[in-house]
Structure 1
């Protein structure tokens, strides 16, 4: 390609470059919102490119890319409407804004839908060392003690998961976890949560990232 030809057509090449980068970025997105938005940007740029690059518009390519724009625009509108119609409690709003921001609003809604809120009292046992853990727990407000071989190792307060190793590795609890004051907890029965995540890989990735971060915080406390 001659320099003169490139200079004459550089706007078209720039549009093609934007379309290509947007398409590549869309493939790497976990969020369905960004995947659809980047696909719209990519296909829109390809429409412009195919309409202007040759002596005549490439109608077959223009039509196929236009259909992609239309389908993704409709689905994005439905997604936006669905997320706008979701109602959270004040507790759930705070959790979404501060802890579960990796999830879209609708993903968080689905997560909350299979979860249960409960206020546990001092002395309540969440897990028993060597026993299967029935649920994944998240401390919203309060405190629990971690006890290994009848020896207290540490206490955990707001923002920590309980039972995450049992959930991710399917193993028995490695400690007793006992509530030491009235504690507000959001918990998910393991079987129901596993089924939800199996159907939603993006949610699974987001939750696993949160659990990894949670484990790192606990290791720094030891």
Structure 2
């Protein structure tokens, strides 16, 4: 007679592959997948699916009041976060100018994050002859040119032109180095403007956004360098 608490190999195999155990393993697998998810939203969804699987097991297969309570709490927390994200997206509305700005260098950010970034600055108007950055001097602001045009000079020589949709000051805003060129408005223009200190503090507080913003800035700088080389070669 087999001692109590001891099972044969066949019995252990049967227990391992019961419906309850298989469902439990599925719940664990979903948790592992959640840890490997690339986005926060996907991670939360996988955790919620795991909780739903565990809840179904505790209700239908292996009754467990404690598990039911904890899984209900977990699913409730997920629903609260889902609702919070939805509210943030609804609040992330953009004017036509802001939408144009978002679609350029903020396209890689979630709408709510782009909304927060844009809110760090103000929309202003400038007149012809207004200097936005001065070569060799600290860059006080980052600019996004919504309309109008600005000339770019280095050592007194024209090296490029900034037009609607271009960033101004992005080359040195994060490093804190002096401006590499002088940018002067050719005519009346409208632009978004944010202090460099404010943007650095914002990116320090939102480290997850820094990489995406830096990539956008780097791409903008490369485009300007190519345009400047063409201008110099043509001159």
Q: Distance in 2 between matches of 1:158 and 1:199?
A: 29
Corresponding residue of 1:24 = 36
Q: How does 1:11-160 map to 2 (within 5 A)?
A: 16-25=28-37, 28-29=38-39, 35-48=40-53, 52=57, 56=62, 63-160=69-166
- Cα displacement string for residues 79-135 of structure 1 (whole angstroms, at most 9, x for unaligned residues): 212331344322113323454222223222222222111222222111111111110
Q: Which runs of 5+ in 2 are unaligned?
A: 1-11, 230-235
Moved more, 205-214 or 90-99: 90-99
TM-score (norm 2): 0.74
Structure 1, residues 40-61: CA drift from partner, whole Å, max 9, x if none?
Answer: 32342254158549x7367666
Unaligned runs of 5+ in 1: 30-34
Separation (CA, whole Å) in 2 of partners of 1:178 and 1:11:
66
CA distance in 1, matches of 2:190, 2:90: 27
Aligned residues: 215
Question: Contact 2:143–2:193 at 8 Å: present in 1 too?
Answer: yes
2-side partners of 1:61 and 1:169: how far apart? Answer: 51
C-alpha contact (below 8 Å) 1:147/1:177 kept by paired residues: yes
Contact 2:105-2:213 at 8 Å conserved across structures:
no
Distance 1:45 1:189, change over 3 A: same
Extract structure 1 runs of 4+ deviating beyond 6 A.
8-12
Deviation at 1:72, TM superposition (A): 2.5
Paired with 1:207 and 1:81, the residues of 2 have a C-alpha distance of 24
User: For 1:174-197, what per-residue CA distance to the aligned partner results, in whole angstroms no more than 9, with x for missing partners?
Assistant: 111111232221111111222222
CA distance in 2, matches of 1:41, 1:69: 11
CA RMSD of aligned residues (A): 3.2
Superposition deviation, residue 171 in structure 1 = 0.8
- Aligned to 1:170, the other structure's residue is in SS state coil
User: Shift of the alpha carbon at 1:64?
Assistant: 4.4
- Alignment match, 1:32: none
Task: Give the TM-score of the pair, scaled to structure 1.
Answer: 0.78
